[in-house]
């Protein structure tokens, strides 16, 4: 009999509500359809093409269902008991030789699994390692560092109040493709429609005329990695105006920052960024008149000055009088308050062995993982545990990391595919399928445009009773390594407790009684003072380390790229980083891993639309098809990340047929934001030439 299950799609940060229609008997149910849930208070029926891929993932014959062990190049299916026992023994032997020789890499899907979030520390504790790496340092770490320094908690994100603003300015984000990031904003397109219907405007600042730019009222091109200069000019212009609302007295130090800006000449800053001073004035007017919000994302974070960018964006919202204001930048009060659950975050607690990188939130830069494996001496990484990550494709100079992984004494991947990274593992431990697990948007709902609580039951029972959820694998690994049982409530029990002690004091049972979600309304203005975690209960504008870095910023020069082009990334609505590449439905259609290049640049280089081109950087070279388009800013080219699925030993047949090339063969492991350790994935200097077809 057909049945409808309410679920949250956990693939991206939007956390859309879906209705999964299934048929069959327990143990042999099949999916009939996956549709948007119109009653979900957050997503209101919206879904994107990826939601239906939940079924493809669930049914994918290439998805691993049993532990795999590699001996040489041959893979063998083994039992959970054997896998865990062998991993425990091998890990203990490695740690007996050098207790500091293990490491973890925690990938992006961990942010979409509350079970992982609540259990990953068991593994790190059992390993006793300071070598912690994650996808955060190829992503949002600059935002965390700015949050920590300004508000006193790394997890304290302000978000644009899109449903009540009159001006939304997006710099370095493309929510039409990504569906939002560090901002849970499903149904972005209709929210923008409503913004326009009430006379508001969307402005996009991006080196590419993106899908979001195409629905915007205005799009401004900006030269990659020059955002800092643009933001300085904009902050100065905002400071020269009356703020839209008085700046609260718990916000300190803005004058101290302002005093440092005098040495930057506005026109030179604008020229360096390629943005006209007229546009800066217009933006400053909009920011200081009605409700307005400036939002920056991945494009401003994956730069050498990512943290300064994130900080300046917050300062602009503050100086415009838009912080903690309705229609400005607001602070959600989530039903499960991660601020109460998580430590504030620490900076520089440890120093990395090889290059002396300070840790951020206890993590070293993912870009430094390869050198920590390659470089001999005490503390050299010999055993690596990768949990839901694909760093060979997702971190800078992936081929270098790939070669380093091949030298490890032990590598374990907790993953559902034998992909670019896990093919190097000695053991792959696969979790239950995506429809066999429960879900709560632990890290995402605290950044949502409405305060909601929504919980999903598993849609299917475990296909194989012996299968384990990720959190069960993490605990079992910890037990196998330490020899000690992990005795703690289940994630579900913990969730119930966290909700009950949360701001709305709801039980999990109450949340479950509303299958489309409980709605606590839009984020309210005026909550910030009560949520600040800084010791002095202020918002700190004048962060000493940021001021120092700003004072050291060289004055902008006329851009001299010596004939080189600048490479940026992109996302497509039918991909999710590297890991939906084996979905039949999502890979259909035109080739997507292309080199986007402006017609003028293409003509100069003799590259025709659809012809092959070779792109070279100091790290490596790739050859791919050119897509000539005036959506690109002249001098700038774009290649999406998460491709390159044709490495030997991978077992993803669909992905192999649409392999593409890895942009991270071109990015550099030495290019980092020193304040956060984040990789500078964007703004890579490249040379391009026609290639034989």
* Residues at the interface with ligand SF4 (CB under 6 A): 9, 11-12, 14-16, 47-48, 50-51, 179, 186
Whole-number minimum distance, CB 205 to ligand MGD, in Å? 5
Q: Phi/psi at 292 (nearest 5 deg)?
A: -150, 155
**Any contact of residue 13 with Mo ion (CB under 5 A)?**
no
**Any contact of residue 601 with Mo ion (CB under 5 A)?**
no
Strand-strand pairing, 167-171 and 201-205: parallel
Choose one: 86-94, 548-556, 563-571, 626-634; the region binding ligand MGD (CB under 6 A). Answer: 563-571
The SS3 of residue 184 is strand
Please tell me the count of residues contacting ligand MGD according to CB under 6 A. Answer: 63
What residue 431 binds from Mo ion, ligand SF4, ligand MGD, none (CB within 5 to 8 A, per partner kind)? ligand MGD
Question: Residues with Cβ < 8 Å from 544, sequence gap 6 or more?
Answer: none
Taking a C-beta distance cutoff of 8 angstroms, is the pair 282, 241 a contact?
no
Q: Phi/psi at 624 (nearest 5 deg)?
A: -150, 175
Taking a C-beta distance cutoff of 8 angstroms, is the pair 620, 402 a contact?
no
What residue 517 binds from ligand SF4, Mo ion, ligand MGD, none (CB within 5 to 8 A, per partner kind)? none
Whole-number minimum distance, CB 50 to ligand SF4, in Å? 4
State the residue number with the nearest CB to ligand MGD.
299
Looking at beta carbons only, is 14 or 665 nearer to ligand SF4? 14
Whole-number minimum distance, CB 673 to ligand MGD, in Å? 12
Binding ligand MGD by CB under 6 A: which of 167, 576, 619, 669? 576
CA pair distance 604, 634, nearest whole angstrom:
11
Looking at beta carbons only, is 48 or 235 nearer to ligand SF4? 48
What residue 300 binds from ligand SF4, ligand MGD, Mo ion, none (CB within 5 to 8 A, per partner kind)? ligand MGD
Q: How many CB atoms lie within 10 A of CB 285?
A: 14
Taking a C-beta distance cutoff of 8 angstroms, is the pair 50, 12 a contact?
yes
Binding ligand MGD by CB under 6 A: which of 37, 56, 161, 227? 227
Binding Mo ion by CB under 5 A: which of 55, 60, 139, 668? 139
Q: Give which of 686, 684, 685, 680 is closest to 305, Cα–Cα.
A: 680
Binding ligand MGD by CB under 6 A: which of 108, 288, 583, 617? 108
What residue 566 binds from ligand SF4, Mo ion, ligand MGD, none (CB within 5 to 8 A, per partner kind)? none
Choose one: 125-133, 178-186, 249-257, 668-676; the region binding ligand MGD (CB under 6 A). Answer: 178-186
Looking at beta carbons only, is 362 or 690 nearer to ligand MGD? 362
Looking at beta carbons only, is 60 or 139 nearer to Mo ion? 139
**Any contact of residue 138 with ligand MGD (CB under 6 A)?**
yes
Counting Cα atoms < 13 Å in the Cβ hemisphere of 20 gives 27
* x/- map, 450-469, Mo ion, by CB under 5 A: --------------------
b/e per residue, 662-685, with b = 16+ CB within 10 A? Answer: bbbbbbbbebbbebbbbbbbbbbb
- Which H or E run includes 86? helix 80-97
Question: Residues with Cβ < 8 Å from 223, sequence gap 6 or more?
Answer: 207, 272, 273, 274, 559, 566, 633, 635, 636
Looking at beta carbons only, is 303 or 352 nearer to ligand MGD? 303
CA pair distance 629, 231, nearest whole angstrom:
27
Counting Cα atoms < 13 Å in the Cβ hemisphere of 10 gives 29
CA pair distance 152, 154, nearest whole angstrom:
7
CA pair distance 231, 227, nearest whole angstrom:
6
Binding ligand MGD by CB under 6 A: which of 8, 113, 359, 676? 113
Torsion angle (degrees, nearest 10) of CA 409, 414, 418, 424: -10
Q: Tokens 């962060």 appear where?
A: 543
* x/- map, 281-310, ligand MGD, by CB under 6 A: ----------------xxxx--x-------
CA pair distance 615, 625, nearest whole angstrom:
10
- Which H or E run includes 499? helix 491-500
Scanning 14-79, the segments in alpha helix (DSSP H) are 53-59
Q: Give which of 233, 329, 246, 333 is closest to 283, Cα–Cα.
A: 233
Looking at beta carbons only, is 152 or 180 nearer to ligand SF4? 180
What residue 15 binds from ligand MGD, Mo ion, ligand SF4, none (CB within 5 to 8 A, per partner kind)? ligand SF4
**Any contact of residue 109 with ligand MGD (CB under 6 A)?**
yes
What residue 31 binds from ligand SF4, Mo ion, ligand MGD, none (CB within 5 to 8 A, per partner kind)? none
List residues binding Mo ion (CB under 5 A).
139
List residues binding ligand MGD (CB under 6 A).
12-13, 107-109, 113, 135, 138-139, 171-175, 177-179, 181, 205-208, 210, 222, 224-225, 227, 297-300, 303, 388-391, 394, 414-417, 419, 431, 470, 568-573, 575-579, 641-642, 663-664, 667, 681-683
């Amino acid at each position: 009999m057909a049945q409808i299950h309410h679920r949250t799609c956990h693939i991206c940060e939007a956390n859309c509500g879906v209705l999964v229609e299934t048929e069959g008997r327990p143990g042999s149910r099949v999916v009939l359809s996956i549709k948007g849930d119109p009653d979900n208070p957050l997503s209101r029926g919206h879904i994107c093409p990826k939601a239906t891929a939940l079924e493809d993932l669930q049914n994918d014959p290439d998805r691993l269902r049993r532990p795999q062990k590699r001996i040489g190049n041959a893979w063998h299916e083994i039992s959970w008991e054997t896998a865990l026992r062998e991993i425990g023994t091998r890990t203990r032997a490695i740690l007996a030789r050098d207790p500091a020789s293990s490491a973890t890499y925690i990938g992006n899907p961990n942010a979409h699994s509350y079970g992982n979030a609540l259990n990953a520390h068991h593994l790190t504790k059992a390993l006793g390692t300071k070598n912690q790496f994650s996808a955060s340092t190829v992503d949002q770490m600059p935002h965390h560092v700015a949050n920590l320094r300004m508000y006193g908690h790394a997890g304290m994100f302000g978000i644009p109040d899109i449903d009540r603003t009159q001006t939304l300015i997006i710099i370095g984000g493309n929510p039409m493709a990504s569906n939002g990031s560090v901002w849970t904003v499903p149904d972005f397109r209709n929210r923008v429609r409503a913004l326009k219907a009430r006379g508001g405007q969307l402005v996009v600042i991006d080196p590419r005329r993106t899908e979001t730019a195409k629905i915007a009222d205005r799009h401004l091109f900006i030269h990659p990695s020059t955002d800092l200069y643009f933001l300085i000019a904009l902050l100065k212009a905002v400071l020269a105006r009356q703020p839209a609302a008085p700046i609260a007295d718990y916000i300190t130090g803005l004058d101290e920052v302002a005093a440092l800006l005098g040495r930057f000449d506005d026109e030179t800053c604008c020229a360096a960024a390629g943005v006209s001073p007229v546009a800066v004035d217009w933006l400053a007017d909009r920011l200081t008149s009605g409700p307005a919000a400036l939002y920056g994302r991945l494009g401003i974070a994956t730069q050498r000055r990512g943290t300064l960018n994130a900080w300046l964006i917050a300062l602009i919202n503050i100086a415009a009088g838009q912080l903690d204001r309705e229609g400005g930048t607001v602070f959600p009060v989530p039903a499960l308050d991660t601020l109460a659950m998580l430590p504030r975050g620490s900076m520089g607690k440890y120093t990395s062995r090889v290059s002396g990188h300070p840790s951020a939130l206890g993590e070293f830069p993912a870009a430094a993982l390869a050198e920590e494996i390659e470089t001999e001496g005490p503390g050299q990484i010999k055993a690596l545990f990768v949990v839901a990550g694909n760093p060979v494709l997702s971190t800078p100079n992936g081929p270098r990391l790939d070669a380093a992984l091949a030298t490890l004494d032990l590598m374990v991947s907790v993953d559902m595919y034998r992909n670019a990274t896990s093919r190097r593992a000695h053991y792959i431990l696969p979790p239950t399928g995506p429809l066999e697990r429960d879900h709560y948007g632990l890290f995402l709902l605290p950044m949502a445009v409405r305060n909601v609580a929504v919980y999903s039951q598993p849609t299917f029972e475990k296909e194989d009773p012996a299968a384990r959820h990720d959190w069960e694998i993490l605990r079992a690994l910890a037990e196998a390594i330490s020899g000690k049982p992990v005795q703690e409530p289940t994630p579900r029990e913990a969730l119930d407790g966290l909700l009950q002690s949360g701001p709305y004091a709801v039980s999990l049972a109450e949340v479950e009684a509303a299958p489309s979600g409980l709605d606590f309304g839009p984020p309210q203005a005026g909550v910030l003072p009560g949520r600040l975690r800084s010791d002095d209960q202020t918002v700190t504008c004048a962060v000493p380390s940021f001021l120092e870095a700003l004072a050291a910023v060289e004055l902008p020069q006329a851009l001299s790229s010596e004939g080189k082009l600048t490479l940026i990334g992109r996302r497509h609505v039918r991909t999710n980083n590297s890991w939906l590449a084996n979905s039949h439905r999502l890979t259909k259609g035109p080739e997507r891993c292309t080199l986007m290049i402006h017609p003028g640049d293409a003509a100069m280089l003799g590259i025709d639309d659809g012809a092959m081109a070779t792109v070279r950087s100091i790290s490596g070279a790739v050859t791919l098809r050119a897509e000539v388009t005036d959506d690109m800013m002249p001098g700038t080219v774009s290649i999406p990340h998460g491709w390159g699925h044709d490495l030997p030993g991978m077992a993803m047949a669909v992905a192999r047929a649409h392999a593409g090339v890895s942009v991270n063969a071109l990015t550099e492991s030495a290019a980092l934001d020193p304040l956060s350790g984040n990789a500078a994935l964007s703004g890579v200097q490249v040379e391009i030439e026609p290639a034989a077809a």
